[in-house]
Structures are given as C-alpha cells and as structure tokens.
Structure 1
Amino acid sequence: MTTEQLYQRYRESGTVSTDTRNIIPNSIFFALKGERFNANEFAAQALESGAKWAVVDEAKYAVDERYILVADVLSTLQDLARYHRRQLNIPIIGITGTNGKTTTKELLYAVLSQRFKTYATKGNLNNHIGVPLTLLSIDDSIEMAVIEMGANHQQEIAFLCDIALPTHGLITNVGKAHLEGFGSFDGVKKAKGELYDFLKMQDGVLFLQGDNEYLREMEMQRGISKTVRYGFSSENDIVGRLEYANPLLCISWKTDDTKDVHVVQTQLTGTYNIENILAAIAVGHFFGIDDIRINHGVEGYTPTNNRSQITKTVHNTVIADYYNANVSSMEAALANIAVIEAVYKVIILGDMFELGEDAWIEHRRVVDRALAVEAKRTIFVGEAFYAQRNPKAEFYKTTDDAKEALRERPVVDSTVLLKASRGMAFEKLMEAL
C-alpha cells in the first residue's frame, strides 16, 4: 500500500492509535516495536477493541483485509505524518532547546488560543514517535500548531523538521544536557541549531532570545533574514522586565515601537521563565493578537507536571521542579531561589542524569553554586552528589534517606526548592514537607 492509499484510510478514520489500552474507535492502529515490546502481537486485540485497521510489519499477523502489511511500522507512521503535514496550509511553530521547551509550548498555546484554534504537542510527545502522532492529531479545523521537538543526538531535530516542516521556530536556550549523546556543549549547539538550519533553508521566521549570546551567535552564523527578537535589552522587538517574584512572577513588557508598558501577573515562578513568557508574547504579537488578549493568555496559564509548580503544603511553600534536571536548569533554579522573597529558604537538589564523563565536575559545580545561596538548609540527594559531600550541607545517598531525615528534622514555614532528574522520584519528599 502506498502512502497516498494509506492516507485515504487515515482520512476516513480521522485518527491513529498506538496503545491497545487506549484504542480510539475506527482508528488505524500502528503496531510499533520497542526494546521490550512488539505491538504486532497485540494487533488483533486492537481490532477487537475498536480499531478499524491495523498496520503491522510481520506477515504472520496479517491474517485478513483489516491488516495493512508494511516493511516498517515506525517509518510508515512517519511517512504518513509527513504526507499529512504537506496537506496542511497552516503556520507551524517548532520549539526546541535545553530547558523550558514544554513551558514555552504551553505558554504559546495559551496566547495563540486567544485568537486562533490552536493545537500543541500533548505532554512530552516530542520525539520521532511523538511528533508524527502530534501531526496526525491535527484536523482541518486547526488554524495554527505548536510542535515541541526534543533530541539527545545529532540530526534528530533535522529529522523532526523534515516531518513537521515548521514555518516558524524558536530555541529556548542551549545548555549542558544529554552530554552523553551530544558529546559536548558545542555538540548541543550544533544539534539544536538544526532548527535554525531548516528555517534558513525554508525562509522561515525565527523568534530569538536576543540577549542570549549563544543563540545570537548561532543565528548570525546562518544569516536568517526574518527574525523577531525578545529579551531584556532595548535592542529587542519585545522588551521585558521583572517587577517582582514573591514567588510568583510579575513582569512588564513593551514593544520597541511604543511607550505603552503592559504589566502581567503570572502563575509561574522562576526568573528563568521570564524569557519563556516573552517568547509567547513575541509570537502572539507577531501574529496580530492584541495586547489585552496576550496578557489574558499569559495570566491564565498555570504550570503542571512538577515544572516550576508552586505547591502549598500544610507547613511550607514548595517549588516542585523535579520533572527533569541538568546543569543549566539547576543553575537557573538556584538563581531564582536566590531572588525570591522568603523568610526561610530550603534547597533540596537531586542527582542529574545523562552527563557522561562530565558528571563529577558538573555536580561539584552545582554544589558550589547552591552553597553560595543563603538558605536555612541545603540538602543534596543521590550517589553523584554524595560523592561531593562536605560539612557545609546535608548529603544523602537516596531519596528515601532524605525523606527520613526530613521527618526527623521537619522543615516548616519555609519556601522549599525541590529540583532533580525525574529518576530521583522527588515526589516522595512532598510527603515530608
């Protein structure tokens, strides 16, 4: 079956499924394979659960006309998404970066939805499977889409751009993450810069954090002609400023061609989120959304999924930021807690993963940075941090050990930063705070 023929069946069904636990009636089921599973084995179950067709790549499972046999299910899914994207005559904004991708994506959605019927990546479906699934969720009613793109190796962003064909794009920032896959910080810049390469080739529009020296350098190297700049200095098209953080951010912003200043009280914490907010403002302004609607979109956004999420417990105010962690996001979180207005501050940091041979030195750097912040207690958790232990702070090998210590010596009346890689399971600590 050709891609065009499969696309006709997709148009008839209107949707696709990949998980037999959540089959959408009349969908096309794609039997993907992974290291520990082979969904070909569950194709019959998918049909019994309501799928109309099942795409498989092992002939023994294609027992009747409801099965579509292909050479490779994943490649077929990607080809179908690429074909569908080419039928969509809408702006698509591609987002990548080391930190802040998901928050920025959600802020863009909150702002753009004030005027346009917008679709954005759900959750973290930002890889070689998630991006195709996102594109195939876009129907004819959608006027604009925001596609998040993640990567931990070279050429992944280029591959995703070839499927999603972004007309506009932005890189939130570049930092030290996934160094095992990228090899070095220069490798990170090269990989993320693949989005800039695509925009240059397609004469697309770039939204640039104009005060970020790395992003400016990456843009200048490519000579992108259509660039909208946002940041804090007056040279930017959208200029922002922090008014206060207590711990929620209040910011002001203006365009470079007017004296009108707009003040926005957000539901976000983290000074590092100011540039994510300004990115959404810049995109909204570019697409002609008026200032009042832009502010309404930003003010209405509340973070979830433990990304800079404020949680009020019985005893404390907790900044839950343990969905992910790397060197750059750790430093940003520490810079934020340093400026937050609070009587007592407690810092609890957990190990960062995927740092490769730089793990020891980067964990040492974070320890030094954390100890420079005035706090009532500073606590480090995990094997990598434990190797850096010194008498100026508390160190625990496991999250359970730290939880027990917090029960023995409770934290009360404090603003607490919880920051760690997801694998540290820092949600356990919430029970002790």
Structure 2
Amino acid sequence: MNTAALYNLYNQHYLVDTDTRTIRKNTIFFALKGDNFNGNTFAEQALKLGASYAVVDEKEFKTNDRILLVADVLESLQKLANFHRKQLNIPIIGLTGSNGKTTTKELINVVLSKKYTTVATKGNLNNHIGVPLTLLSMNPKTELGIVEMGANHQKEIEFLCTICEPDFGYITNFGKAHLEGFGGVEGVIKGKSELYTFLLANHKTVFINIDDPIQVERAKEINSVCFNPNDVQFIEVNPFVKLSYKNESIQSNLIGNYNFTNIAAAITIGAHFKVSETAIKQAIESYVPTNNRSQIIKTLHNTIILDAYNANPSSMKVALENFDTIKAASKVVILGDMFEVGKESAPEHQAITELATSFNFDQTYFVGENFNIAKTDKPQFKTYQELEDFLKKNPLKNHSILIKGSRGMRLERILEFIS
C-alpha cells in the first residue's frame, strides 16, 4: 500500500498506535519490530481491541482485508508522518540540544498553548519513532507543533528534519552528551548543527541565545530571532529561578540558574508568536517539572532535588554548581553513573568526582561501575543495591539531597526509603 492510500485511511480518525497495551478505538496499528519483539504477531489482536487497520510487513500475517501489507512498517510510519506534515500547513518548531531539551519543550508548549492549540512531543519520544508519532498526533485543529529531536550519532538530526520539516529551530546548547556516539564534543556540535543546516537550506528561522558563541557562529547565515537581554533578565535562584521580563518579575518552579536560559527561550519564542506578556508570565509560573527532572520533593525529614532522568558531564557540572549555591543546613549528594560517554568515561567520571568533592558537601556518595573506579575518599558503591543496603542501615534525615544520574541507573528508587 502506498503512502497516499494509507493517508486516506489515517485521516478518517487521525489516530495511530504501536502498542496493543494502549490501543485506541479506530486507530491504525503499526506493527513495529524491536530486538525482542515482532509487532506483526500482534496485528490480529490490535483489530480485536478496536483498531480499524493494522500495518504489517510480513506476508504471513496479512490474514484479512484490514491488515495492510507494506515493505517496511517503520519506513511507512515515517513516510506517513512526513506526508501528514505537508498537509498540516502549520508552523512547526524543531528543538534539539545536549541538555534541557525536554524542559525547554515543555516551557515553550505551556507558553504557546496560552494562545494556540498546540501539540508537543510527549515525554522523551524524540527519536526516529517518536518524531513520526508526534507529527501523527496532530490533527486539523492543531495550530502549532513543537517537535523535540534527540540524537546520539551523526546524521540523526538531519534525518529527523526530513520527516518533520521544521519552520523554526532552536538548539538549547552543545555539551558533553552522547560522546560515545558522536565521537567527542566536536562531533556533538556537528551533529546538533544539522538542524541549522536544514533551516538554512530551506530559508527557515532559528532562535538564538546570543550568550552562546557556538550558536551565534553556527547560525550566523540563518534568518534569526535572538534572546533580548534587555527584555529577559536573571534575578536570582533561591532555590527557584526568578527573572524579570520587561520589568515584570516572574517566579518559576524550576531550580538551577541553568534553567534561566530554558525559560528565556520559551519567553522569546512566545513573544515571537505574539503571546501576551501577561499570558507568558502566567504560563512560566504555572509550570511544575515532573518525570524526575529537577523535581523538588519534600518528605517528612528531607528536601530532595530529584534529577534522575538523564546525566552527562555537562549537566552534572551545572547541577553540582547550582546545588552548592542553595542555602541549606546540611547537603547530601548522591551521584549515579553517566552513560554513553565512550572512551572519555574514566576521565569524565574522575573529573565529576573531584568537582563534587571540592564543594565539601556534608555527605557525598557515588554509585555505579564507572564512579566505583574513580579515585576518591568518599563512599563508593558498585551497584545500586549496595547503595540501597547502606542507606537502609544509615538513614538520611534532616538534609537537602541532590540525586542525579543517567536514566539507566534508576536512582529514583531511592525515594522508596528516604522519609
């Protein structure tokens, strides 16, 4: 079945699903494959659960007329998403960067949704599957789209741009993330800048943080909208970011001065799309982070900063620096391994170990195989279970606690026994 014919079926309900556990009535089920599963085997089940059609790429699973056979299910999903994007005829903002992508995307969405019917990437669905699903979640009522694009190797952003074809772009920053796949910091800059290449080639617009020299240099030939430091000014972090927008103070629910740039980006983009100053203020002040991203959690005895969604050398550094500035009677740091750092893993973990130790926090704990081999006189735990066993015997009480590590470490489990 070709893309145009498939689109005629899709636009009856504007629904697609890839998981029978969350199937919706009248949806089109795309039978994707993974390392440990074959979605083709679930095609008939999807129909029984309410799907109108199922798309498969193995002939033996086409058992009735509502099961549609294509050469490659993933490729069909991606082509359908791009075809749909062309029909939408709405502005789409493409967003990438090493750190802060998801928080910035959420901020942009809450600001723009004050004036427009928006659709933004859900959670962290920002890859070769998530981007198509985001586009296909938009319908004729959608007025503006915000698409987060993640990458861990060269040419990935380039490919995602061909699917979502953004009219506007923003790169949060260039940091030490996914060094293994990109081959170093220069590789990160080159890979993320593929968004700039697309915007330039297609005469689109980029949002620029003028305090970032890499952004300024890399995007100098593109039509740009810059952060205006006269309009957006940092006031303080205590512990939440407070700033001024056109002389009106805004009190956010985000910790860390690094979030000032994320907020400034959302304000700049909102202003460009003519969201009122009052609405922008209301949006920023109403946003509360979730999903283990710089969440402040108050328990009976402790105040916890939970930042266990992601970690790389750049984000670790700013998180530690910010935690050092927070006023608290007693501070405890629990750091988990940083993944996808590649050949730089040992020196980067050692550098973070030394940085964390230099702040003289009351207690500092390192957990994971990479941190376990770093040289330090602070407690080290090779596995999460070792840390858990230790903390159960030595409970933390009356502290401010920073918990940060890569997603695979799942350090949020600590919350189960910190009261």
- The TM-score with structure 2 as length reference comes to 0.97
Rounded to whole Å, the distance in 1 between the matches of 2:70 and 2:399 is: 58
Q: Does 1:405 align with 2:397?
A: no
What residue number does 1:239 align with? 232
1:395 has 2:392 as partner: no
What code does the residue aligned with 1:424 have? M
Distance 1:177 1:9 in 2: 40
Q: Tell me the CA shift for residue 370 of structure 1.
A: 0.9
Q: Is the 8 A contact 2:56 2:70 kept in 1?
A: yes
RMSD, aligned α-carbons: 1.3
Measure, in 1, the Cα distance between the counterparts of 2:379 and 2:233.
Answer: 38
Aligned to 2:272: 286
Partner deviation per Cα, 1:81-132 (whole Å, 9 max, x = no partner): 0000001111101110111111000000110011111111111111101110
2:212 is the counterpart of 1:227: no
Q: Deviations over 1:115-163 (max 9, x none)?
A: 1111111111111011101101101111111100001111111111111
1:29 counterpart letter in structure 2: F
Work out the CA distance in 1 between the residues paired with 2:379 and 2:244.
38
Tell me which residue corresponds to 2:90: 90
Superposed, which structure 2 residues align to 1:47-126 within 5 Å?
A: 47-126=47-126
SS of the counterpart of 2:175?
coil
Please state whether the residue corresponding to 2:253 is helix, strand or coil. strand
> What is the CA–CA distance in structure 2 between the aligned matches of 1:427 and 1:236, rounded to whole Å?
36
1:359 maps to 2:345: yes
Q: How does 1:335-350 map to 2 (within 5 A)?
A: 335-350=321-336
State whether residues 169 and 206 of structure 2, in contact with CA within 8 Å, keep that contact through their aligned partners in structure 1. Answer: yes
Work out the CA distance in 2 between the residues paired with 1:144 and 1:412: 46
- CA distance in structure 2 between the partners assigned to 1:351 and 1:274 by the alignment: 26
**Per-residue deviation at 1:214?**
2.2
- 1:134 maps to which residue? 134
Find the counterpart in structure 2 of residue 374 from structure 1.
360
Q: What is the CA distance between 1:57 and its match in structure 2?
A: 0.6
- What is the rounded CA distance, in whole Å, between the counterparts of 2:95 and 2:231 in structure 1? 18
4+ residue stretches of structure 1 with deviation over 4 A? Answer: 235-238
Pairs within 5 Å for 1:139-178:
139-178=139-178
What is the CA–CA distance in structure 2 between the aligned matches of 1:97 and 1:35, rounded to whole Å?
Answer: 27
2:400 is matched with 415
CA contact (8 A) 1:380 1:394 kept: yes
Select 1:296's aligned residue among 282, 300, 304. 282
- Residue 14 (structure 1) shift: 2.0
Check conservation: 1:13, 1:28, Cα contact below 8 A.
Answer: no
Contact 1:370 1:378 in 2 (8 A): yes
Q: CA deviation at 1:23?
A: 1.2
Looking at structure 2, the residues matched to 209 and 349 of structure 1 have their Cα atoms a distance apart, in angstroms, of 30
Does residue 20 in structure 1 map to residue 13 in structure 2? Answer: no
Give unpaired runs (5+ residues) of structure 2. Answer: none
Identity of aligned residues (%): 50
Q: TM-score, normalised by structure 1?
A: 0.94
Secondary structure, aligned partner of 1:431? helix
The answer to whether the 8 Å contact 1:378/1:394 transfers is yes
Counterpart of 1:147, as a letter, is V
Paired positions, count:
418
SS in 1 for 2:119: strand
- Secondary structure at the aligned position of 2:219 is classed as helix
How many angstroms apart in 2 are the aligned matches of 1:184 and 1:72?
33
> Is 1:252 aligned with 2:252?
no
2:127–2:151 CA contact under 8 A, matched in 1: yes
Equivalent-residue separation in structure 1 for 2:269 and 2:66 (angstroms): 44
Task: Note the C-alpha offset of 1:219.
Answer: 1.8
Q: Distance in 2 between matches of 1:432 and 1:23?
A: 35
Runs of 5+ in structure 1 lacking a partner? 255-260
Distance 2:231 2:61 in 1: 56
2:406 maps to a residue whose letter is S
Q: Which residue of 1 aligns with 2:299?
A: 313
Query: Which residue of structure 2 lines up, in the alignment, with residue 333 of structure 1?
Result: 319
Q: Deviations over 1:332-357 (max 9, x none)?
A: 10111011122221111111111111
SS in 2 for 1:215: helix
Offset of residue 237 of structure 1: 6.5
Answer whether contact 1:82 1:132 (CA < 8 A) is retained. Answer: yes
The one-letter code sitting in structure 2 at the alignment partner of 1:425 is R
Q: Helix, strand or coil for the counterpart of 1:13?
A: coil
What secondary structure, in the 3-state scheme, does the structure 1 residue paired with 2:374 have?
A: coil
> How far did residue 395 of structure 1 move?
1.4
Q: Quick check: 1:28–1:55 contact (8 Å CA) kept in 2?
A: yes
Q: CA separation in 1, counterparts of 2:148 and 2:91?
A: 14
